[in-house]
Amino acid sequence: MARVSQAHLDARRRQILDAAALCFARNGFHATSMQDVLKEADLSAGAVYRYFSGKEELITAIVSEVLGEVRAAFEAAAAQSPPPSPDVLVPSVLSRTLGLRESLTLDGVPAFPRLVVQVWSEIPRNDELAAVLREGYGSVRAAWGRIVEAYQKAGTMRSDVPPDHVARTMIAAVLGFIAQQSLFGPTPVEILRDGLRALMSVPGTEPEARGSQLG
């Protein structure tokens, strides 16, 4: 029997993951059957089950892949001295994440934002997926924390705000931007870039003394 190359195995795995992502984005996780995935991938059951045991493993693999890409990008930024500014770094990572999946469309509209929202809705019912997301979110937060520390060390960001507070805010901005795309349609990443630049231009203010407004 001819030996199957690793490139062929990787391509087949990619084919299955992309088909599953489209199905989940289109109909949601629970309304999607493995038969739907087989049809979308145009593969036999044996070909798919060789790689994945079922829907739960498929969605976990999709989420792990995305979080791994995002984590690696921010960890690479954290290793730079100084890291790129937020208005450069955030749109760059988001553009790359979306660009890698630009071929996944539903009725001509990118499917990835819809997939993200479907994943969020599954978290309360899927402990394994929730654990994967918590771990991935934590690693991205940690990388962002190191980036903020580098900003503060370089004097480009005020140092009286805990790095984790900034990390959570930046992640929230990205997740909110993706949610808007899911709800209202595609939006250029340059809008997020411009918004961050505008916010960065607001003059800093000293925090008010405690009790100054409440007496």
Q: How confident is the prediction for the chain on average, in pLDDT?
A: 91
- Entry pTM: 0.87
Q: Which tens digits make up the pLDDT trace of 189-201?
A: 999 999 999 999 9
Per-residue model confidence as pLDDT tens digits over 63-86 = 999 999 999 999 999 999 889 999
Please give the full DSSP string across the chain, using - where no structure is assigned.
-PPPPHHHHHHHHHHHHHHHHHHHHHH-TTT--HHHHHHHHT--HHHHHTT-SSHHHHHHHHHHHHHHHHHHHHHHHHTSSSPPPHHHHHHHHHHHHHHTTTT-EETTEESHHHHHHHHHHHGGG-HHHHHHHHHHHHHHHHHHHHHHHHHHHHTSS-SSS-HHHHHHHHHHHHHHHHHHHHHH----HHHHHHHHHHHHTSPP-PPPPTTTTT-
